[in-house]
């Protein structure tokens, strides 16, 4: 019996080694290395793959942002700005999370450029890293090899992620479209209206400064990175959220708070020589066109992503300390015009939520 | 920590076995018991360190009372009653306080505050174990024992959180038997067999079946008859695989330590009556209820009517034991009524029995009816509230609305991923049917397994076969790669 147990132990060790080999070699989350030669970088699960990408890929530029930045094709930036970029995406674009990604990227890479999608909504949240609290797989985020068992001995990875990566590698998969979700979505009035639950009543406008503390702290986080890396050129831009988002901000009494935080961000960040700031928040052509551009209150179509890259490459929509007050005033006009006038034609089809 | 976790398999268990056999090898028998207790406390505290205080307090008080009984036999009964009240009080406070207050508030229109106490895992199990100990000490049927023995007896990790509910006479003599302190290859071999089969029941069957079950019960109002029948079937199987899987693992782990734990399940779904099913299901709880509820109430010694009442009382207590909720009490009452019906012996399946029934039917009828009855009884058992019970029963009249597809589609097995992808490409209209087919096959597989040999029979029948251990090792590794998707055990909360 002892002999049988010894054989069983050997078999156990051999069988345990098979998943280790499969996962370490193919490594669909790029936790150990960049894609093997001949295989493509198949990136579609940001919580699982961004960290590995930042640690092991060859790149000199990072596209950082929230879900609205997922539909950029890396090649647009690469061709226009002459860089090799990867994406660092975090749901909701929490500033502390994105800055943590950038710190990680700087550990082993010299970055020529950072394209930073700055969501206005991310400025008001607490400047805390949210990976753990939001349930990210921390075994991929830390350096503890012991908890890698969750990655290595994981049948999702073995039966699903590895075959998917291999299948995509041998298809016409475009590596530049990492994390892209736009191709499966519809961007039209029906879609975006169905995702907006309008407050039945309007909250009186809150004190514009009520999220100053969080906003200042978030901007400081970005500033710290910008100032620590003068060799990197930072292209910071705010995305064009739809008029429905601005209507909601108005009804929650937050319009002035957002305007103030945007004003802060531009005034502080654009003073750095290595920063250029572009503001699409008030781009009326995009923001007001909910017939064609949006799938909900803020997620726009990939065509808008392309449009933004093109305009930035031409230096359009740029703001700085000289023109920001004027731009914020224009944005304010639009932000109030929306609930008071521009949304009226849609009021009959809007869905009203509960108080 | 859970048996189905990486830390348990890769760290805790090897360390524990090495420490246990290492200390025993050098004759440090008491130290080995102390080591086993400390490791068991780590195992228990891993869920929530604050539970340890309750556990240590419970063990200390019971041991101290036993010590007092040893010192002053005159007050034996006083200490016994004190111990019984302490154990029941502990259980009442942590498990039933809020339920009691809720009902007091409802009946007397009062507004006493609820405490929202977090139920310590396995409190029912270690409390019943110690309740039994203190009663038997009071009855002078068992002697006092050393503190290390007692602590190891209560905390021995394989049975600590979800049983089997072991007795003093089952464990303490084994701890004292020096022959059991050395490595036994036969028992290690059998133990691995038990453990792996239990683990496979839990990880590969119960946890997969749990996915549609949880979805079904969470969305019960949308279910049609087909979906409801499938979900009820899946839950009946899930509960068995979950709990009997845990018991198999506990027995297997015990054997790895060269210690034998009592059998807790004996193919219950092969029973031809509900009465028989309960003699084969959670057998150590049934034993406990017989010894400390049924017999003290008079058992079968006070006439037939009293016997039937005592049976009913046992099932009501069993319902209350399972949880602080009216659902469990309803379940207990209904089960009690059916077991009483079985005891009336009007219909039976064994014409050769010493007391054959008035009407004897072929046994296969009972074997079909009994699991179906049990499945129906599990509706109140699993439903989150009374309203859901009615919703599910009403669903059985809804026929087919296609909702069963939706339930089946929540089962996303990684093993099926490639097939699903291919199907999506070549015949997308069949994907729903495929998902439903997988769900039905899973249920059919579960029923098939329940109808065959149980774990003990498999280990005994096939342990000598050359393929037995390689298959066990293969299953073990397959379970390990499935750990990322597993949940806790249902009976941890009872």
Q: Which structure tokens are listed for B11? A: 């760290």
Task: Express each pLDDT in A102-119 by its tens digit.
Answer: 999 999 999 999 999 999
How does residue B490 score in pLDDT terms, banded at 50, 70 and 90? Answer: low
Closest partner CB to A15 (pick from B188, B474, B482): B474
CA distances from B464 to B88, B249, B374 (A): 46, 20, 36
Of A18, A149, A163, the CB nearest to B418: A163
Q: What mean pLDDT comes out for the span A11-26?
A: 96
Which residues face B233 on adjacent strands?
Answer: none
Angle between helices B147-155 and B29-45 (to 10 degrees): 40
Q: Residue A71, Cα to own-chain centre: how many angstroms?
A: 10
Distance from the first to the final alpha carbon of chain B:
17
Measured CA distances, B71 to B154, B225, B269 (Å): 22, 64, 48
Containing A88, the helix (H) or strand (E) segment is: strand A85-89
Predicted confidence (pLDDT) per residue in A141-192, tens digit:
998 999 999 999 999 999 999 999 999 999 999 999 999 998 889 999 999 9
Q: Do B414 and A5 touch (CB under 8 A)?
A: no
**C-beta neighbour count of A348 within 10 angstroms:** 6
Looking from the CA of A149 toward its CB, the CA atoms found within 13 Å total 16
DSSP-assigned letters across all residues of B372-406: HHHHHHHHHHH-SSHHHHHHHHHHTTS---SHHHH
Show residues of chain A in contact with B482, CB under 8 Å: 155
What is the distance between the alpha carbons of residues B470 and A115, in angstroms, rounded to a whole number?
Answer: 54
Please name the residue of chain A whose CA is at the shortest distance from the CA of residue B421: A164
Q: List, in sequence order, every beta strand (DSSP E) within B285-412.
A: 347-348, 359-360
- Nearest CA-CA partner of B245 in B162, B349, B172, B177: B162
- The whole-angstrom separation of Cα B88 and Cα B85 is 5
Phi and psi based region of residue A300 (left: phi greater than 0; alpha: psi -120 to 50; beta: remaining):
beta
Cα–Cα distance for residue pair A286/A241, rounded to 1 Å: 9
pLDDT tens readout for residues B103-136: 888 888 888 888 888 788 889 899 999 999 999 9
The DSSP-derived string for B176-187 is H-GGGGS--HHH
Average pLDDT of chain A to the nearest whole number: 94
Element (H, E) at A86: strand A85-89
Task: Give residue-wise pLDDT tens across range B249-287.
Answer: 999 999 999 999 999 999 999 999 999 999 999 999 999
CA nearest A18 in B: which residue? Answer: B477
CB A120 within 8 A of CB A238: yes
Closest residue in A to B6 (Cα) is A149
Choose among A1, A11, A156: nearest Cβ to B185: A1
Band the pLDDT of B488: cuts 50, 70, 90: low
SS (H, E, C) B430-462: HHHHHHHHHHHHHHHHHHHHHHCCCHHHHHHHH
Q: Which residues of B377-389 are buried (b: 16+ CB within 10 A; e: fewer)?
A: bbbbbbbeeeebb
The token duo for B295 is 């017999």
The answer to whether the beta carbons of residues B4 and B199 sit under 8 Å apart is: yes
Q: With 0-12 CB in 10 A as exposed, 13-18 as middle and 19+ as buried, what is B458?
A: middle
Omega before A113 cis (within 30°)? no
- Asked whether the predicted pLDDT for residue A204 surpasses 90, the reply is yes
Domain spans, chain B: 6-183, 189-272+349-493
Q: Are A185 and A49 in contact (CB under 8 A)?
A: no
Q: Over pLDDT 70: what percentage of chain A?
A: 100
Write out the CATH class of domain A38-153+171-352.
alpha beta
Q: What values do phi and psi take at A113, rounded to 5?
A: -140, 150
pLDDT at B487 over 70: no
Secondary element (H or E) of residue A114: strand A113-117
Touching check for B75 and chain A: CB below 8 Å?
no
pLDDT beyond 60 at B493 = no
Look up B322 and say whether it is catalytic.
Answer: yes
Chain mean position to CA B429: 41
Confidence of residue A355 (pLDDT cuts 50, 70, 90): low
A158 reaches B (C-beta below 8 A): yes
B351 has a pLDDT exceeding 90: no
In angstroms and rounded to an integer, the radius of gyration of the C-alpha atoms of chain A is: 23
Probe site for chain B from A138, A148, A156 (most B CB atoms < 10 A): A156
In chain A, residues with a C-beta closer than 8 Å to the C-beta of B415 are 155, 159
Q: Answer whether A5 sits within 8 Å of B185, measured CB to CB.
A: yes
Contacts of B189 in chain A (CB under 8 A): 1, 4-5
Pick the closest to residue A20 from B322, B398, B481 (CA basis).
B481
Choosing from B116, B144, B282, B322, which is the catalytic residue? B322
How close is the nearest chain B Cα to the Cα of A41, in Å? 20
Task: Report the distance separating Cα A286 and Cα A300, nearest Å.
Answer: 9
Tokens representing residue B296 in the block: 């003290």
Q: What pLDDT does A41 receive?
A: 94
**What is the DSSP-derived secondary structure letter of residue A300?**
B
| Residue positions counted in chain A | 355
Contact criterion met (CB below 8 Å) for B165 and B125: yes
What is the C-alpha separation between B463 and B252, in angstroms, rounded?
Answer: 14
Q: Find the mean pLDDT for residues A304-321.
A: 96
Residue B231 structure tokens = 């979900």
Which tens digits make up the pLDDT trace of B418-465?
A: 999 899 989 999 999 999 999 999 999 999 999 999 999 999 999 999
Mean pLDDT (chain B, rounded)? 91
To which H or E segment does residue A223 belong?
A: helix A212-228
| Rounded average pLDDT over A319-340 | 95
Q: Which residues pair with A234 in a beta bridge?
A: A114, A275
Question: What single DSSP character describes residue B224?
Answer: -
Residue B164 DSSP SS3: coil
pLDDT for the residue numbered B359: 83
pLDDT tens string A64-101? 999 999 999 999 999 999 999 999 999 888 999 999 99
What pTM did the predictor assign?
0.88
CB within 8 Å of chain A, chain B residues 9-28: 10
A156 Cα to chain B: minimum distance (Å): 5
Reported as half-sphere exposure (CB side, CA atoms, 13 A), residue A101 has a value of 31
Q: pLDDT tens digit string along B167-220?
A: 999 999 999 999 999 999 999 999 999 999 999 999 999 999 999 999 999 999
Is a pLDDT exceeding 90 seen at residue B325? no
Q: Is B125 exposed, middle or buried (0-12, 13-18, 19+ CB in 10 A)?
A: buried
Torsion angle, CA of B459/B461/B463/B464, rounded to 10 degrees?
A: 170
Cα separation, A145 vs A35, whole angstroms: 20
CA-wise closest residue to B464 among B189, B156, B119, B209: B189
* Closest-CA residue to B358 (of B372, B370, B343, B380): B343
Residues forming a β-bridge with A318: A278
**Among A298, A210, A191, A194, which residue's Cα sits nearest to residue A247?**
A298
Give yes or no for residue B99 having a pLDDT over 90. Answer: no
Rounded CA-CA distance A158/A288 in Å is: 46
**CB pairs A-B closer than 8 Å:** 66
Q: Is B66 helix (H, G, I), strand (E, B) or coil?
A: helix
On whether the CB atoms of residues A189 and A289 are closer than 8 A, the answer is no
Percent of chain A whose predicted confidence (pLDDT) is above 90: 92
Contact A27, A39 (CB under 8 A): no
- Name the pLDDT band for A21 (thresholds 50, 70, 90): very high
Q: For A237-264, how does the pLDDT look when each residue is reduced to its tens digit (9 = 90+)?
A: 999 999 999 999 999 999 999 999 999 9
Give the whole-angstrom CA distance, residue A259 versus residue A248: 14
The reply to whether residue B472 touches residue A5, judged by beta carbons under 8 angstroms, is no
Contacts with B123 (C-beta within 8 Å, 6 or more apart), sequence order: B54, B90, B91, B94, B95
| Span B51-60, average pLDDT | 93
Angstrom CA distances, B82 to B79, B144, B150, B288, stand at: 5, 17, 19, 19
The whole-angstrom separation of Cα A49 and Cα A161 is 11
- Best of A8, A144, A146 to disrupt the B interface (most B CBs within 10 Å) is A8
Summarize pLDDT for B368-393 with one digit per residue, the tens. Answer: 999 999 999 999 999 988 889 999 99
**Is the complex ipTM more than 0.90?**
no
Structure confidence at residue B485 (pLDDT): 60
Identify the band that residue B100 occupies on the pLDDT scale cut at 50, 70 and 90: confident
Largest CA distance in chain A: 85
DSSP assignment of B98-132 equals: HHHHHHHHHHH---PPP--PPPPTTHHHHHHHHHH
Which pair of structure tokens corresponds to residue A301? 């179509």
């Amino acid at each position: 019996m002892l002999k049988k147990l010894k054989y069983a132990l050997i078999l156990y060790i051999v069988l345990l080694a098979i998943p280790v080999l499969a996962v370490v070699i193919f490594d669909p989350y790029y936790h150990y290395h960049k894609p093997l030669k001949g295989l493509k970088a198949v990136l579609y699960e940001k919580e699982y793959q961004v960290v590995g990408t930042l640690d092991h890929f060859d790149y000199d530029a990072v596209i950082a942002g929230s879900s609205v930045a997922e539909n950029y094709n890396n090649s647009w930036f690469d061709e226009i700005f002459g860089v090799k970029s990867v994406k660092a995406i975090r749901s909701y674009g929490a500033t502390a999370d994105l800055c943590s990604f950038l710190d990680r990227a700087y550990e082993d890479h010299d970055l020529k450029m950072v394209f930073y999608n700055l969501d206005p909504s991310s400025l008001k949240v607490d400047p805390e890293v949210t990976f753990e609290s939001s349930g990210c797989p921390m075994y991929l985020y830390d350096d503890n090899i012991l908890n890698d068992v969750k990655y290595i001995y994981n049948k999702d990875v073995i039966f699903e992620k590895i075959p998917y990566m291999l299948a995509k590698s041998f298809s016409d998969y475009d590596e530049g479209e990492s994390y892209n979700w736009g191709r499966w979505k519809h961007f039209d009035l029906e879609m975006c209206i169905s995702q907006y639950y309008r407050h039945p009543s309007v909250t009186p406008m809150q004190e514009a400064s009520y999220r100053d503390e969080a906003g200042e702290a978030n901007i400081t986080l970005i500033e710290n990175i910008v100032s620590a890396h003068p060799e990197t050129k930072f292209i910071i831009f705010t995305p064009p959220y739809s008029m429905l988002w601005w209507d909601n901000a108005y009804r929650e009494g937050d319009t002035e708070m957002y305007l103030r935080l945007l004003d802060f961000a531009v005034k502080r960040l654009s003073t750095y020589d290595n920063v250029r700031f572009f503001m699409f928040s008030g781009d009326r052509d995009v923001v007001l066109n909910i017939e064609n551009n949006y799938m909900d209150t803020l997620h726009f179509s990939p065509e808008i992503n392309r449009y933004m890259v093109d305009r930035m490459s031409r230096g359009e929509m740029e703001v700085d300390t000289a023109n920001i007050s004027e731009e914020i005033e224009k944005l304010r006009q639009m932000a109030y015009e929306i609930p008071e006038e521009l949304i009226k034609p849609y009021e009959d089809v809007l869905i009203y939520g509960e108080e | 920590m859970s048996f189905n976790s990486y830390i348990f398999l890769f760290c805790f268990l090897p360390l524990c076995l090495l420490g246990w056999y290492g200390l025993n090898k050098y004759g440090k028998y008491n130290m080995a018991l102390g080591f086993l207790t400390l490791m068991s406390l780590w195992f228990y505290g891993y869920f929530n360190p604050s539970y340890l205080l309750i556990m240590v307090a419970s063990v200390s008080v019971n041991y101290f009372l036993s010590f007092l009984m040893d010192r002053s036999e005159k007050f034996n009964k006083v200490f016994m009653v004190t111990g019984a009240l302490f154990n029941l009080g502990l259980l009442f406070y942590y498990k039933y306080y809020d339920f009691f207050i809720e009902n007091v508030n409802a009946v007397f229109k009062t507004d006493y505050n609820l405490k929202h106490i977090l139920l310590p895992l396995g409190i029912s199990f270690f409390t019943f174990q110690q309740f039994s100990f203190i009663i038997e000490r009071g009855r002078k049927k068992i002697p006092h024992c050393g503190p290390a023995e007692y602590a190891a007896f209560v905390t021995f990790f394989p049975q600590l959180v979800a049983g089997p509910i072991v007795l003093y006479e089952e464990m303490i003599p084994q701890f004292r038997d020096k022959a059991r302190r050395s490595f036994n290859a036969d028992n290690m071999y059998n133990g691995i067999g038990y453990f792996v089969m239990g683990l496979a029941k839990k990880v590969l069957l119960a946890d997969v079946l749990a996915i549609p079950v949880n979805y079904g019960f969470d969305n019960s109002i949308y279910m049609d008859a087909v979906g409801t029948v499938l979900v009820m079937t899946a839950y009946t199987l899930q509960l068995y695989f979950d709990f009997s899987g845990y018991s198999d693992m506990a027995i297997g782990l015990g054997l790895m330590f060269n210690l034998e734990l009592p059998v807790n399940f004996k193919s219950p779904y092969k029973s031809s009556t509900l009465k028989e099913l309960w003699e084969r299901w959670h057998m150590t709880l049934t034993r406990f209820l017989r010894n400390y509820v049924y017999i003290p109430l008079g058992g079968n010694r006070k006439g037939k009517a009293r016997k039937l009442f005592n049976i009913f009382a046992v099932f009501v207590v069993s319902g209350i034991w399972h949880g602080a909720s009216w659902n469990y009490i309803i379940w207990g009452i209904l089960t009690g009524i059916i077991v009483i019906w079985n005891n009336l012996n009007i219909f039976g399946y064994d014409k050769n029995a010493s007391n054959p029934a008035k009407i004897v039917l072929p046994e296969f009828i009972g074997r079909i009816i009994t699991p179906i009855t049990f499945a129906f009884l599990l509706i109140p058992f699993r439903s989150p509230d009374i309203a859901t019970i009615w919703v599910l029963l009403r669903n059985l009249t809804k026929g087919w609305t296609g909702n069963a597809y939706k339930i089946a589609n929540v089962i996303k097995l990684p093993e099926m991923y490639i097939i699903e992808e291919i199907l999506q490409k070549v015949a997308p209209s069949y994907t729903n049917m495929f998902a439903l087919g997988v769900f039905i096959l899973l249920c059919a597989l579960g029923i098939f397994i329940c109808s065959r040999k149980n774990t003990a029979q498999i280990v005994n029948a096939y342990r000598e076969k050359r393929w037995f251990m390689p298959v066990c090792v293969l299953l073990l590794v397959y379970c390990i790669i499935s750990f990322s998707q597993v949940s806790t055990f249902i009976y941890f909360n009872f």
